[in-house]
Amino acid sequence: MGLSRTIRCRTAESAGKLSKHLIKLGSGMGKSYPGYLFIQIGSLKCVNYLARKLSIGSIIITGTNGKTTSTKITILLLTKDAKLTFNYESNTINAIVTGLLTGKVDLGVFEYGIRDVKHGIPDTVCKIVDPVGVVYTNISREHSQVSGRENPFEEYLMAKQLLSTPMKRGVVICNADDPRTTIIGKNKEQDTKVTYYGLDIDLEDKTPLTGDVFCPLCHGNLVYSKRYLNHRGIYECISCGFKRPEPDIKLTKLLLEKEKWWVSLVGEIYNYSTDKNVSIDLQVPLPAFGIHNLYNLLCAVTTYVSFTPQPENIKKTIIDTCETLDLSILPPGRFEIFKVKDKWVGMGQGDNGDALKANIQFMESYLGDDITGNTAFIYTTPDEGEDEIFEDHLSSLNSLNPVIVHVIPGRESVEAGRSYYNILKESLHADFYPLSHEDMDKRIDKIRDLVKESSYKYIIVSGCGPEQYMWGNLKLRCKSHKKNS
């Protein structure tokens, strides 16, 4: 690096750190402004100067669902064994750089969301942050349009892949049960270590797949011998032989109790910090939080075991962390199950087909088969141009077959909500409430009233809607109602 660039990077670093300090004193702004300022003064090339200050390096976590939860659990685990800087729920290079503007630490752990190539810069991010780990949770179709532009699934998948494409060292961590993250791993095996994680449990997803799942190699049909959660399972392509790799680390022996779940974590994987293989074999308790969160936990444990500089602590750190894990780790819009008078209500965000389906599956595993024939569904629709998400939702709704579906627009367009309702009512008993996005309070009150007045034993409320603005507030109001009456 030339002298003038070094000076420029150092100036940017001082300005960034100063603004980070000032923001801590004030409020708001916090997660990305210092990084933005740093890039303005120092340019993207200076990010590499910051990234090299970490003694081990950076880990970037991406995927469609579960990024935030996986990142948070990874942080809880790694922070016991190493000095960390981190950022989650922010999803931009500015946020990653804000995290990098720190003192001397071992590891950076960053969530990074990529909606498409145009709005993200995944390969640039990889080049300048130079991560030692890129971690994939899962890849499902979502946001088929981004800012009015078509975002075909192939491009979306490509954008995710680009985040690890430039890597020449470190570990790429992939979900073996997801053919779309597996293919990313398969393509990286000649460049870096690739570690695969997966489930090995008895529980099966018996409902149909939402959308077709094609072989990522030859576009032939994938055949599943077992599915754990929608397109995640044990698959094989009959045309080309592409199949689910044997996971290096597995979650096995799931034991469901009402308030607590037990699982075993077993495997032997490569640890980057010590350049040695390490093995784990232990049993831990977890909150009852759904199969999708088992994936998030396993993803986090895999990341932790791959990067902890103190592998001798692994067993104790994982057990201590799992024993104290509770539902507050999950985001405000998360699906949760609670009682309102004598009714069981499952409520929370299900922004894409995969997420909504995971919610239904959680409700079924929590309450059992009794929900068939006794369930009302309050469905909040996707927006205009999100037909693919709707198709996935509809397939899950049809397979659950609720007694009634109350349809409410979940995003901005009421007319889109109406057109989705018109399709939905062809196969399900349904009604429609054309409530506007501007008057969110009315939407929330209506949903609360529908829950309150429903004559069914079980009510699921899920679909699209803003995290805190809708789901967070809705849950608060339903719960306070629960206390007041």
Q: By the criterion CB under 5 A, which residues form the site for Zn ion?
A: 215, 217-218, 220, 237, 239-240, 242
For residue 247, what is the DSSP state? P
Kindly tell me which of 37 and 215 has the beta carbon lying closer to Zn ion. 215
Both structure tokens of 414? 């009421």
CB of 241 to Zn ion, least distance (A): 7
CB of 279 to Zn ion, least distance (A): 32
Residue entry with tokens 């200050």 = 53
List the beta bridge partners of residue 174: 196
CB of 184 to Zn ion, least distance (A): 15
| C-alpha to C-alpha distance for 191 and 339, rounded to whole angstroms | 51
Find out whether 94 and 43 touch, Cβ atoms under 8 Å. Answer: no
CB of 117 to Zn ion, least distance (A): 24
Kindly tell me which of 18 and 240 has the beta carbon lying closer to Zn ion. 240
CB of 440 to Zn ion, least distance (A): 45
Q: At what angle do helices 414-424 and 387-400 cross, to 10 degrees?
A: 40
Kindly tell me which of 13 and 178 has the beta carbon lying closer to Zn ion. 178
DSSP code per residue over 140-198: ----SEETTEE--HHHHHHHHHHTTTT--SSEEEEETT-HHHHHHHHHHTTTSEEEEEE
Residue type, 42: G
**CA dist 57 → 26, 162, 374, 440 (Å):** 30, 19, 52, 43
| C-alpha to C-alpha distance for 434 and 393, rounded to whole angstroms | 19
| C-alpha to C-alpha distance for 449 and 422, rounded to whole angstroms | 23
CA angle 79/83/89 to nearest 5° reads: 60
Kindly tell me which of 220 and 287 has the beta carbon lying closer to Zn ion. 220
DSSP code per residue over 46-88: HHHHHHTTSSSEEEEEE-SSSHHHHHHHHHHHHTTTS-EEEE-
CB of 236 to Zn ion, least distance (A): 9
Kindly tell me which of 216 and 465 has the beta carbon lying closer to Zn ion. 216
Find out whether 218 and 245 touch, Cβ atoms under 8 Å. Answer: no
Both structure tokens of 246? 């044997």
CB of 174 to Zn ion, least distance (A): 17
| C-alpha to C-alpha distance for 87 and 31, rounded to whole angstroms | 8
CB of 432 to Zn ion, least distance (A): 42
Nearest Cα residue to 239 out of 208, 217, 213: 217
Kindly tell me which of 9 and 176 has the beta carbon lying closer to Zn ion. 176
Kindly tell me which of 157 and 367 has the beta carbon lying closer to Zn ion. 157
| C-alpha to C-alpha distance for 443 and 297, rounded to whole angstroms | 34
Neighbours of 212 (CB within 10 A): 8
CB of 115 to Zn ion, least distance (A): 27
CB of 187 to Zn ion, least distance (A): 14
Both structure tokens of 143? 């946001």
Kindly tell me which of 185 and 290 has the beta carbon lying closer to Zn ion. 185
CB of 114 to Zn ion, least distance (A): 25
Kindly tell me which of 5 and 186 has the beta carbon lying closer to Zn ion. 186
Kindly tell me which of 7 and 218 has the beta carbon lying closer to Zn ion. 218
| C-alpha to C-alpha distance for 149 and 312, rounded to whole angstroms | 50
Kindly tell me which of 75 and 213 has the beta carbon lying closer to Zn ion. 213
CB of 217 to Zn ion, least distance (A): 4
| C-alpha to C-alpha distance for 296 and 287, rounded to whole angstroms | 13
Kindly tell me which of 99 and 185 has the beta carbon lying closer to Zn ion. 185
